[in-house]
Amino acid sequence: MSKYSNSALVLVLVCALAACGKSGSDASGGSTKEAAAGVCNLVSTKDNSPLAIKVVATDTPEAKEFLATCVNPYTKKYAADAEAAKAGRKVMTYNGCTGCHGGNLGGLMAPSLVKNGGTGAFDTKWVYEKNATDKGMFETIAGGTPGTSGGTMFVWHNQLPGKTGEGLPTDDILKAVAYIRTVYKGDGEKTWLK
């Protein structure tokens, strides 16, 4: 009963804002459609400003899903299928991630991504706490970092200013994130498998 009257009220408010009463069906139809298509609001790890990453024609279904939901569809797939995870490893060797993070991602001139011990501040923990989520780690790789560990990582996403070389599409970054999840041995909870 109260549920019904609440939603009726919301409808009246939405109509007032969107001018539903006006003639012409395309105005209200269009806005309903846009509201239904979700958007993952990505922000920079450097300064929390919005990261302008859009869906492009060449995006894979996985990339489109992530940009709409903030969920990386590769993460659970790679966790269950070591053979599939090799595609993520390939992105990381091909683009030189292993040159800084180590061949086994155990750290070199850049922090370990395995987080399996040692005495350094970032040997078991993420430099950026938000990297415990796939959205956060995507933002860190896509838009670069402020240098908390002592070094900075540059911008990787091909749609962002200052990108490294040609940069990487959304799909490649998602594959790298999902692969990094498969090597994780840190002391944090594997929240990304929930």
Q: Which is nearer to ligand HEC, 156 or 192 (CB)?
A: 156
Report phi then psi at 90, rounded to 5: -65, -45
Q: Least separation, in Å, of the C-beta of 141 and ligand HEC? A: 5
Q: Which residues here bind ligand HEC, judged by CB under 6 A?
A: 92, 95-97, 99-101, 110-111, 113, 122, 126-128, 131, 137, 140-141, 145-149, 151-153, 156, 176, 180
Q: Least separation, in Å, of the C-beta of 139 and ligand HEC? A: 10
Q: Which is nearer to ligand HEC, 27 or 94 (CB)?
A: 94
Q: Which CB contacts under 8 angstroms, 24+ apart, belong to 50-57?
A: 51/139, 51/142, 51/143, 51/157, 51/160, 52/159, 52/160, 53/142, 53/157, 53/159, 53/160, 53/170, 54/159, 56/159, 56/169
Closest CA to 65 of 128, 113, 134, 164: 134
Where does residue 161 rank: exposed (0-12), middle (13-18), buried (19+ CB within 10 A)? exposed
Q: Which is nearer to ligand HEC, 30 or 165 (CB)?
A: 165
Q: Which is nearer to ligand HEC, 14 or 160 (CB)?
A: 160
Q: Which is nearer to ligand HEC, 14 or 43 (CB)?
A: 43
Count of residues in the chain: 194
Q: Least separation, in Å, of the C-beta of 9 and ligand HEC? A: 44
Q: Least separation, in Å, of the C-beta of 29 and ligand HEC? A: 41
Q: Least separation, in Å, of the C-beta of 170 and ligand HEC? A: 13
Rg of the chain taking only CA atoms, in angstroms:
20
175: which 2 tokens? 């594959």
